C-alpha cells in the first residue's frame, strides 16, 4: 500500500518538498494551504510535471485537512518567511500561532502521523508542535541539521574543488547563528578536514555556514527553498521507507549531550517510529562549549512561547 504524506504550506519550500516526494513515487502527497485555489494550482502543475519527469500524478491540493486524513507523515512548512534584517527569533510570536493551528488540524485528521517541522524558528516550533499534538517525543522531529550540514558540505566542496559526494560533515545545535559545525567529525574521502586546509580557512567556512540562511535571505529577499524542501523530503523517505538513516535532525533531548528538555540538532536514527535513537558524537572541549552556547540561545527563544 502506498504511503500518504501531507505537506502543509504550498509555498516554495512546501512545493519543492512535495515534488521531491512525488518523484520518489512511493507516496500520495496532499498539499494544504489556506490561500484559495493556490494548493490546487500547485498540485495541478506538479502532476503535469510527472509526465515529463516520470512519476505518477498523485498530488492533491486542498484548502482543508479532510484530504489529509490518515497521513503517515505530516510536514509542516507553514509560517511567515524571513525577510531582510529579520532574525529567526523575530518570527516566534507570529509563527507560533500558525504552527499551533496547523498542528491541531493535522493531528485531528491524522492521529497516528509523525510530524516533521520545517517552520521557523525551527527549534521553538518543534516545541509548539509537540505541546499541541501531545505526541511522544519520537513522533515530532525538526528539519534543520540536514540543511545546515548540506551548506557546510557545499562550501567545503567549493573551497577544495572536490566532489560534494566525498564530503562527510555534520552540524549540531540550534538552527540559527549559533549552530555548531563539527569540524572534528568532518572529512573528505576519509581525510580529516583539518589536514586539508588551515584553521583560518575552516573558520571562514564555519562562519559562512552559521550565517548561511541570512546570506540567502540577503540575496533572495526571502528564505531559501530548494535545499530545505529536499532536506525535508529526505527525512520523510527515511521514516516512510523505514530506512533507519542517521541524519542530523532537531530532536527532543532528555540528557543526551548534557542537554535536558530541549529540541536541538543532533544525529538521529530515523525510521518507521520516527526518531528511534540519538547518536552521540565525541566532541572536542571547544565543540562542547559551543553546543552549550547554542542550547542557551535556543532556550531564550523557547522561553517566550505560550506553549512549551
Q: Tabulate helix, strand, coil % of the chain (nearest 5).
A: 50, 20, 30
CA 70 centroid distance within chain: 22
Residue 296 to residue 209: CA distance in whole angstroms: 19
Phi, psi values for residue 10, rounded to 5°: -100, 20
Which residue, among 71, 88, 84, has the nearest Cα to 18 in the 3D structure? 71
Map residue 162 onto helix, strand or coil.
coil
What is the Cα–Cα distance from 183 to 189, expressed in whole angstroms?
14
**DSSP assignment, residue 250?**
E
Catalytic position from the list 175, 210, 247, 253: 175
Query: Cell 559526494 appears where?
Result: 165
- Which residues have CB under 8 Å from 178's CB, separation 6+? 210, 290, 293, 294, 297
Does residue 10 sit in helix, strand or coil?
coil
3-class SS of residue 83: coil
Clarify whether 175 is annotated catalytic: yes
User: Distance between CA atoms of 1 and 139, rounded to whole angstroms?
Assistant: 21
Residue 131, judged by CB atoms within 10 A of its CB (0-12, 13-18, 19+), counts as middle
Q: Which residues are catalytic?
A: 175
Amino acid at each position: 500500500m502506498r504511503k500518504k504524506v501531507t505537506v502543509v504550506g504550498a509555498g516554495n519550500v512546501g512545493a519543492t518538498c512535495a515534488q521531491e516526494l512525488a518523484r520518489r513515487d512511493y507516496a500520495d502527497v496532499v498539499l494544504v494551504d489556506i490561500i484559495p485555489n493556490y494548493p490546487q494550482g500547485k498540485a495541478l502543475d506538479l502532476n503535469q510535471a510527472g509526465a515529463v519527469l516520470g512519476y505518477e500524478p498523485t498530488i492533491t491540493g486542498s484548502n482543508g485537512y479532510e484530504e489529509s486524513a490518515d497521513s503517515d507523515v505530516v510536514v509542516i512548512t507553514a509560517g511567515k518567511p524571513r525577510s531582510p534584517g529579520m532574525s529567526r527569533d523575530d518570527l516566534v510570536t507570529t509563527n507560533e500561532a500558525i504552527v499551533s493551528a496547523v498542528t491541531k488540524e493535522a493531528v485531528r485528521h491524522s492521529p497516528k502521523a509523525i510530524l516533521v517541522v520545517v517552520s521557523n524558528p525551527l527549534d521553538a516550533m518543534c516545541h509548539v508542535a509537540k505541546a499541541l499534538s501531545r505526541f511522544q517525543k519520537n513522533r515530532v522531529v525538526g528539519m534543520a541539521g540536514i540543511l545546515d550540514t548540506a551548506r557546510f558540505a557545499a562550501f567545503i566542496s567549493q573551497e577544495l574543488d572536490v566532489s560534494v559526494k566525498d564530503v562527510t560533515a555534520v552540524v549540531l545545535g540550534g538552527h540559527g547563528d549559533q549552530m555548531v559545525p563539527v569540524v572534528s567529525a568532518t572529512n573528505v574521502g576519509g581525510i580529516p578536514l583539518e589536514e586539508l586546509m588551515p584553521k583560518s580557512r575552516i573558520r571562514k567556512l564555519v562562519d559562512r555556514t552559521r550565517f548561511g540562511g541570512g546570506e540567502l535571505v540577503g540575496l533572495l529577499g526571502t528564505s531559501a527553498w530548494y535545499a530545505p524542501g529536499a532536506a525535508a523530503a529526505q527525512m520523510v523517505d527515511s521514516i516512510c521507507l523505514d530506512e533507519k538513516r542517521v541524519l542530523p535532525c532537531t530532536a527532543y533531548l532528555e540528557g543526551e549531550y548534557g542537554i535536558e528538555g530541549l529540541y536541538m540538532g543532533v544525529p538521529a536514527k530515523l525510521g518507521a517510529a520516527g526518531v528511534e535513537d540519538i547518536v552521540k558524537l565525541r566532541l572536542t572541549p571547544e565543540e562542547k562549549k559551543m553546543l552549550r552556547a547554542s542550547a542557551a540561545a535556543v532556550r531564550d527563544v523557547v522561553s517566550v512561547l505560550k506553549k512549551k
